[in-house]
Amino acid sequence: MADAGVNVKTVNLTIEGRPVTVPDGTSILEAAKMAGVLIPHYCYHPGLPVAGVCRMCLVEVEKFPKLAPSCATSVGEGQVVHVHSPKALEARKGVLEFLLINHPLDCPICDQAGECELQDYTFAEGRADSRYREPKRFNPVEDFGGDVLYVQNRCILCTRCVRFMDDVAKDPVLNVSERGDRAFIGKAEGHDLTNPWAGNVVDLCPVGALLSKDFLNKARAWELDRAPSVCTGCSQGCNIVIDTRDNVAVRMRPRPNADVNQYYMCEVGRAGYREFNRRDRVEQPMVRNGHTLRIADWEDAITAAARALAGQRLMVLVSPNLSNETLFLVERLVAHANGQAAFRVDTGDEVALPGVPDLALRSERAANATAARQFGFAQLASAQLSLRDGDALLVVGEQLDGIDVADLDRASTIVHIGTTLPDVLAARANVVLPIANISEEEGTLTNLRGRVQRFLQAKAAPGLARPSWYVMADLLAAAGGEGQYFSPADVFDALSVTHAPFATLSYERLGLLGLPVLSPEIASAEVSG
């Protein structure tokens, strides 16, 4: 046990023959995890209050008169616990049989197939046949509102969803209704799962009883590729997984991070996957020739871009959803050219998840405004760019929604680095350089608390689009700036050398859970909540 302090009492016990030492008060189930033993379970979840109702986690503890529910039983000194003894296996087999007697044979049409805990444990430890000869219970499907569909037939009444809404979302809109085998998850008329955090019940549900309407029938779990990433819906920086099928993003799910989002993410974040699949992408570099933008090769386009920006006052408008690496390279360019950079951020209502400390859908609806501020970029309060006549404008990642066109016309040249080509630039941009979106490249982001977290590539960028840091690095070099970067890690290393808070950091050190880097005061400047 590490630096837990001298006052933490520990308990020694043996689980499946493995000795393990854990803090006093730990449940046998958690102690087993620490010993590397998985005790099958349904209703238990580390983020929820213990219920102890599914009875799947029963283990044999020597000298106990009955099997013990390991999620609800504390460790005791010297206990000898058997997870796979004949008695425990038989008990679990019994639970599985009971769960399956009314459970419909929906696997072929059920979204959960392939990532279903009922399938998993039944395959591992359940009966090969069914002894049930009676008609199965049948109930219709119910729309719970929001993104959630409730397929009552498949429900195993683990009550994770009810406990989540009660204790974590603190919005008790779900209940257990009726009694006995008539019981089901219910809600009150007119009170739906419209809470922005309600979609987490779909992740929590161990079976296919609670489903995402958005994801319904879109893909099979085994067809999906998964990449760890960070949500860009707001500045909270929830850790996520982006699921893709054939290079199309189909779903985003939370990835556990005890220091950021525990096990959850909100609906605004989840809906963000659609943005990754936009079809109106710029796929080739383009250079203006007269009235039209013509396709060019990368080398020519970069050269044209550097030439277009040279010799004038440089103004860079960046998206606050660009990675630390890309923003760092923008900062280098701005310093080299003695220019300025700015960004705009959308805001919305903040919605906290009350049961988790410091977790909310943040009012700042962008993932990396903290870094943008850190690099000295100005936050624009309005759609006014404050360009001076003759400025060179470099737009990186910004969609220019609501931008004053007259403002744009002040620029003498415009270079656009982006995923799409906004209409207002189709007639004005001198050079267009296509880049990957956040799901198509690798990098890091800094959340509102100054935590730096890595995101990995989930799918391939279309056409000839390149990672944003790559394009910025080339542009910087073409403009005469210093540094050669062959990977995002190289950029990050350079960033860590020049920016004190990032010193000693590396991708290895950051891992997939990130590290707190900037002090909260710096990070939270100008951020509410």
Partner 1 sequence: MSHGPSASGGALVAAPLHGAHHDEPHVPVFTDAARAELDMILSRYPSKQAALLPALWLVQDARGWVSDASMAEVADALGITPAYVKGVTTFYTMYHQHPVGRHFIQVCTTTPCNVCGAEDVVTSLLEHSGCGDLGLTSADGRFTVIEVECLGACGFPTPIMINNDFVESVTPESVPRILSELK
Partner 2 sequence: MGFPHPSHPRETPILSKYFGDAGARTLDGWRARGGYEALQQALATDPVDLQNVVKDSGLRGRGGAGFPTGLKWSFMKPDGKIHYMLCNADESEPGTFKDREIMRWTPHGLVEGVALAAHAIYAETAYIYIRGEFTEPYAHVTRAVEEAYAAGVLGANAMGSGKRVDVHVHRGAGAYICGEETALMNSLEGRRGNPRIKPPFPAVAGLFGKPTTINNVETLATVPYIIKHGAEWYKQFGRADNPKSIGTKLFSVCGNITRPGNYEVALGFPFKDFLYDLCGGPLPGREIKAVIPGGSSVPILTREEAENTIMDYEGMAAAGTLLGSGGVIVFDDKQDMVRQIARLVRFYAHESCAQCTQCREGTAWTLRIMERIRDGEGTAEDIDTLLSIADNMTGKTICVLSDSCATPVVSGLKKFRGEFEARIAANRSMVTVPGAFRATAA
Q: Which does 181 bind (CB under 5 to 8 A by kind): partner 2, partner 1, none?
A: partner 2
Judged by DSSP in three states, 54 sits in coil
How many residues in the shown chain lie near partner 2 by CB under 8 A?
A: 39
Q: Which is nearer to partner 2, 157 or 495 (CB)?
A: 157
Stretch near partner 1 under the rule CB under 8 A, chosen from 168-176, 312-320, 441-449, 492-500: 168-176
Q: Counting Cβ atoms within 10 Å, is residue 342 exposed (0-12), middle (13-18) or buried (19+)?
A: middle
Stretch near partner 2 under the rule CB under 8 A, chosen from 47-55, 146-154, 282-290, 466-474: 47-55
Q: Counting Cβ atoms within 10 Å, is residue 432 exposed (0-12), middle (13-18) or buried (19+)?
A: buried
Whether the Cβ atoms of residue 57 and residue 40 lie closer than 8 Å to each other = yes
Q: Is 91 in the site for partner 2 (CB under 8 A)?
A: yes
Among 4, 109, 188, 525, binds partner 1 (CB under 8 A): 188
CA distance 453 to 495: 14
Q: Is 223 in the site for partner 1 (CB under 8 A)?
A: no
Of 103, 118, 112, give the one whose Cα is nearest residue 56.
118
Residues in 142-181 that interact with partner 2 by CB under 8 A: 156-157, 176, 178-181
Whether the Cβ atoms of residue 330 and residue 396 lie closer than 8 Å to each other = yes
Helices 468-478 + 324-337 axis angle, to 10: 20
Q: Is 172 in the site for partner 1 (CB under 8 A)?
A: yes
DSSP string, 402-439: T--HHHHHT-SEEEEEESB--HHHHTT-SEEEEB--TT
Q: Is 173 in the site for partner 1 (CB under 8 A)?
A: yes
Q: Is 63 in the site for partner 2 (CB under 8 A)?
A: no
Q: Is 186 in the site for partner 1 (CB under 8 A)?
A: yes
Q: Which is nearer to partner 1, 173 or 417 (CB)?
A: 173
> Angle CA(513)–CA(514)–CA(519) in degrees, nearest 5?
140
Q: Which positions from 112 to 131 touch partner 2 by CB under 8 A, shown as an x/- string? A: -----------------xxx
Q: Which does 174 bind (CB under 5 to 8 A by kind): partner 1, partner 2, none?
A: partner 1
CA distance 420 to 398: 9
Among 1, 5, 19, 133, binds partner 2 (CB under 8 A): 133
CA distance 488 to 473: 10
Q: Which does 69 bind (CB under 5 to 8 A by kind): partner 2, partner 1, none?
A: partner 2
Q: Which is nearer to partner 2, 3 or 129 (CB)?
A: 129
Q: Is the dihedral of CA 79, 82, 87, 93 positive or negative?
A: positive
Among 154, 160, 187, 253, binds partner 1 (CB under 8 A): 187
Q: Interface with partner 1 by CB under 8 A: which residues?
A: 171-179, 186-191
Q: Interface with partner 2 by CB under 8 A: which residues?
A: 50-56, 58, 66-67, 69, 72, 90-91, 94-95, 97-99, 101-102, 105, 129-136, 156-157, 176, 178-183
